[in-house]
Every structure is written in C-alpha cells, then in structure tokens.
Structure 1
Amino acid sequence: MRKSEFIAIAAAGVIAGCSFYGYEQTQPRVSETRVEERKQNRLSDSQVAGKSVGGAPDFSAIKDTKQKKQAFFDYLRPGIALENQRIVKERVRLEQLKERFDNQTIESSDQSYAIKLGKLYKVEVPANGITDEWLDLMLHRVDVIPESLVLVQGANESAWGTSRFATQANNYFGQWCYSKGCGLVPLQRGEGMSHEVAKFSSVQQSIHGYFMNVNRNRAYEELREIRYQRHLAGQSLTDTEAAIALSNGLLKYSERGEAYVNDLQSMIRHNVQFWESPLANQ
C-alpha cells in the first residue's frame, strides 16, 4: 500500500471517532463545504424519523435514489473507517515484527503481541515462536479493504439497508451463524439447512464481522492474494481499481458466483461519484 494511503486511512479513522463500537453515538464530523454541497439533498424530518433496531435511518422512506444512496453510504462510512484504521495499526506493528524477525532481534513483548494478533486472525503462532510461514500468512490477512467494495457489498446484501436482516438484526452483509437462536431464520432456507442470519447489536459489529470474515475465511484466500500482490507492487489498495480487482476474490461469497462479482463491479463503477468526487469523504 502507498504510504499516503496509510496516512489517509488513519486520518479518516480519527475523523470518524475514537470509540470502536460507539460511533453511532459520536457521529462523524462533516465539513462546512460538505454541508453546503448537500443542502439541496438533505433528508426531511419525516424521512429520518423512522429508525431500525440499530438506530439507522429508515432508508425505505427515502424516495429520491441519490439521497437514499448518500444516506446509506454515509451511515456505513464511519464504521468502515474505524475498521481500516485498526487494521493499519496492526499492519504497521506486524511489519515491525517481520523486520525484527529478519534481524533476529525479536523480544518477549513482540512474541506476546504476535500471539494476541494471531488469535484474532486465526493464525496460531507455532510453539517454537514466530516463523517466516506465520508472518507470510499474517501479512496476507492483516490489510485494509477498499471502502467502495465494502459499501457496495453492504448495499447489495441489505437491499440498501431495507432488508429484514438489516432492519431487525443490524446485518448488512448477509453473514450467517450456526447455533439455534443466534440470529434470524431465513424465510426461504433450504430443506435440511440449519443456518441463521446473524444478529448484531450494532452496525459497527456487523462491519467488524464482515472485515474479519473476509480477512480470515479460507473462502476469500484469492482476494487476499490479489491484495497482497498489489501491496508488494506498491499499488493502491483503496481506489476504485483496487476495489474492482479485489472483488474478483469474492466468487464464494454468494452462490451466484461470477454473476455476483459482476454485479459488485457494476455497482462500484456506477456509483463512482460517491467515492471519487473531491468531497466524497469529507
């Protein structure tokens, strides 16, 4: 990843707020210029009065398509920024670990951090300590996900925040769970299947769950390899091109496979104004 992107992501996380699960109470700051830009597109009081279980706007009440998209993206953006900010910090520490490992200067505190981070990303540190193989696996898993990719997946999976799973379970990414009562039972669940759609206490937990799923699940190894190669090549991991490239590693996210990925890529291109305009992230 480019150094400028690390700085931008860290700054975005600071703007979004410092509380990991509390951004719903601490809304993101909006510049005066951005406020002026949106004067003609603001939601009426009646449009935002209806709230879902997580305090989200009633997206189904917003009839103007552009307003609905802007409201949906603005609702998810702070949480995405917080996740990427966390990952940037983890990545920096991980790269420091690799440098110390290469120089044979690993300390006990490094080992302790490696064990903690390995547990989070489900890559256990070997009994004999940090190894090249462990570092390689972790460097594949601990990295950012382009905001635009997360946003369009959220829009696709939650029908722009209007699905039953979004409004009743704070689940914006179609994430499953497998213990009875852990979530909502899909109305069209296939015979013999026992999964439920996971219920989250906040939109932030849903976003966190999505990030950890993509960064840990074996199904998305291809996405992580694409990202890793881009990182090695010094290519962007946050722009539209990166989002489209990484989406190719999501074939297993949906039973629709290639058609699903094509839909995501079309959405990324069609909504580019929401993340490539100069004021998109202010």
Structure 2
Amino acid sequence: MAPSSLNEFVLMPSFYTAALVGSMVLLASQVQGFLDRTQVTPASFSVEEPPADHMAAPARAHLDVAKADDFEMILERSGFDLNNIRGGSDLVPAVYLASLPGDLGSLDQIKRKKQLFFSAVLPLVLRANEKVARERVRLIRFQDRVLDGAQRRPVEREWLLELADRYGLDAEGAEIDSVLFATLLPKVDEIPVSLALAQAAVESGWGASRFARNGNALFGQRAWTEKAGIVPKERASGEKHVVRKYDSLLGSVASYVHNLNSHPSYRDFRLRRAALRTAGRALDGNVLAGGLLSYAEIGQAYVDTLRLVITKNRLSDFDGAVLERSLVTVSG
C-alpha cells in the first residue's frame, strides 16, 4: 500500500506524436513489428458528443508525467503491483493519469511497456465501471420497489427518465413498469475489465497511436465534426469522420463504456452480458468479445484478436480487481 506520506497524485495531460500501430496478430503477441500497420478505427460509432456526465480527470491534476521512468516511480511509491493485484492480495491504487507518458509507445522492452500500459488504464476502467455499477444498483432497487407496489416519488421518476434518455430510450410519458426496467437494465452494466484492457491495447497500439498521444483516445471512437477529433490519415475522400479526442484518458474510458452500453451496434454485446447475469455467471471478456463484430471493419478477425490479447496477457486475472476508495495522491 502507499506510504502514509503520499497524499495526492497530480497529473496533467501531455500530447505527443507516435507511429501507427502494427498488425493485429503481431500486436497481440507483443512483437515489436506492431508499429508498422495502419490503425484500426471502429465501424459503427456515431456519437457526436461524450455523454453528459462523462468523467474528467481529478481536479488537482497538475503534474505532467512525461516519461515512463516518472510513471514507474509513482507506481512504486504508491505500492502499485500488478502481480499482487492479479493474485487478489492488493486493491488497485487510485492512480489516475490524465495522459499516457510520452515515451510509452516507443519503449523497446515489451514486458515493461505492457506493465506500464495496463497500470495506466486499469484504474480508469475500474473507476468508470464503479459509476455504472452504482447506477445499476439504484435502478434495481427502484425496480424492486415499483414491482412491490410502492409509490413512485417524483424525484425517482425524474432520475429514471433522465437515465433512460442518457441511454438512448425515449421514455417521456412512458409507464414506469416492468417493460421499461427490462429495457433499461441490460444497458446499465459494467464492461469486463479484461475486455476493456484488450480493446485499449489494440485500438491504441499500446499507447503508440497518434490518437492516444495527441488526443487521449484509447478506443478509436468516432465523431463527425473535425473540431471534435483527429482526422485519420487513411480516411477516404468524401468521408467526414474523425477519431474523437478527449481532455483526459478518463474521458475516453467513460465514453467507451457509455458507447458499448448504448449504441445500437452493440446490442448483441449487451444481450450476451444480460444472459451471463441471468445465469448467475461472472462477466467474461472472452465471451463478450463475441458481441463486438461491429466494432471494426475486420469483424471476426477483430474478435479473435481481442481474445488472443486477453489470453496471452492473462487479462481475466483483473476481472475481479477492486479499486481503492481514496484517491492516491503525491505532492511533488
């Protein structure tokens, strides 16, 4: 655990230029040749703006972690040990990087690069999942009260309608009944940590892509106005999409979670997840990757690559990881 003298990590975005990511299979196998391929962008994202309640980096995010060496020092001082986290003996220190270290994508030591990448992204995924999990618990409790015949309070109805609107449901004037809850509940749920880590690695080339370095974009999400993102170099003539940029890595992660939970293209992903819940099974990144055929133009090959990344890097070890409640911080 972090020494008691550590009170706050203060981290600030920093922006860089990087090589494009290499072939999917070589990337999954951690071969250095991955820096040569053109980057993958999702086929179906159509969100113009991040969700209204998207997360920002911690308010006191002031220290620019420009180099991998600096990040390693922070991890050491905070007691951040991926091996102990894998084994379930450690909670995950709440270290929130606003941007990846600028030299992360160019590191030659593959094991070191992977360790630092997962250490940067893991707390952000857990934080975004925690927010969704709290909303899910509140939704289930409200559902139980309604089905038990309890009176609907106006504040509860207002909250439910706002939640439904945020997840793409037109619930204005709708009855608050079992149908509404059955439609909304499959959308308000967590993303398996293993799957989120694998997608972040593939889509960002382990932090090497210019979208990750210049725009904190870990998941290649699209927008449709040029001011909202970065133009892909391989964009065909006449196409208008850009890869959305974010003020912080946490903004990218929160937007990714919201998109998988709300975009029509990922309905199969949500149905698979709901089936696991109904069966009383834990969320499984390998299983749920099968619901992401629409995420990239290469379809099944993309799903296969995600599963390979999960397996080779034992990312399922992190599916039960738990975030520390207090913000890990350091002063200087």
Q: State which of 234, 257, 271 in structure 1 corresponds to 2:313.
A: 271
* Structure 1 partner of 2:56: 21
Which structure's relative contact order is higher, taking Cα pairs within 8 Å and 6+ residues apart? 2
Q: State which of 60, 70, 82 in structure 1 corresponds to 2:115.
A: 70
1:89 to partner: Cα distance: 0.5
* Structure 2 partner of 1:188: 234
Name the CA distance, whole Å, in 2 between partners of 1:25 and 1:211: 22
* Structure 2 partner of 1:85: 130
Name the CA distance, whole Å, in 1 between partners of 2:320 and 2:157: 42
Query: Which shows bigger deviation, 140-149 or 180-189?
Result: 180-189
Superposition TM-score, scaled by structure 1 size: 0.79
Q: Deviations 1:256-279 (Å, cap 9, x if unpaired)?
A: 00010000001100000x552899
* Structure 2 partner of 1:228: 274
Q: State which of 243, 252, 264 in structure 2 corresponds to 1:206.
A: 252
* Structure 1 partner of 2:139: 94
Question: Is the contact between residue 106 and residue 208 of structure 2 (CA under 8 Å) also seen in structure 1?
Answer: no
- Unaligned stretches of 5+ residues in structure 2: 1-8, 10-53, 63-73, 86-96, 324-332
1:30 to partner: Cα distance: 7.2
* Structure 2 partner of 1:262: 304
RMSD: 3.1
Q: State which of 216, 220, 235 in structure 1 corresponds to 2:262.
A: 216
Name the CA distance, whole Å, in 2 between partners of 1:156 and 1:250: 13
Question: Is the contact between residue 203 and residue 218 of structure 2 (CA under 8 Å) also seen in structure 1?
Answer: yes
Name the CA distance, whole Å, in 2 between partners of 1:97 and 1:186: 44
Name the CA distance, whole Å, in 1 between partners of 2:55 and 2:214: 22
Q: Which amino acid aligns with 2:296?
A: S
> Which structure 2 residues correspond to residues 85-234 of structure 1 after superposition, within 5 A?
85-105=130-150, 106-234=152-280
Question: Is the contact between residue 158 and residue 165 of structure 1 (CA under 8 Å) also seen in structure 2?
Answer: yes
Q: Deviations 1:222-260 (Å, cap 9, x if unpaired)?
A: 0100000110111001xxxx1001000000000000010
User: SS at the partner of 1:197?
Assistant: strand
1:62 to partner: Cα distance: 2.0
User: SS at the partner of 2:81?
Assistant: helix
The structure-2 alpha-carbon separation of the partners of 1:206 and 1:234, relative to structure 1 and needing over 3 Å to count, comes to same
Query: Which shows bigger deviation, 112-121 or 79-88?
Result: 112-121
Q: Which runs of 4+ in 1 moved over 6 A?
A: 26-31, 35-38, 277-282
Q: Deviations 1:121-174 (Å, cap 9, x if unpaired)?
A: 122324043232221121110001111100110110011001011111111101
Superposition TM-score, scaled by structure 2 size: 0.68
The structure-2 alpha-carbon separation of the partners of 1:168 and 1:93, relative to structure 1 and needing over 3 Å to count, comes to same
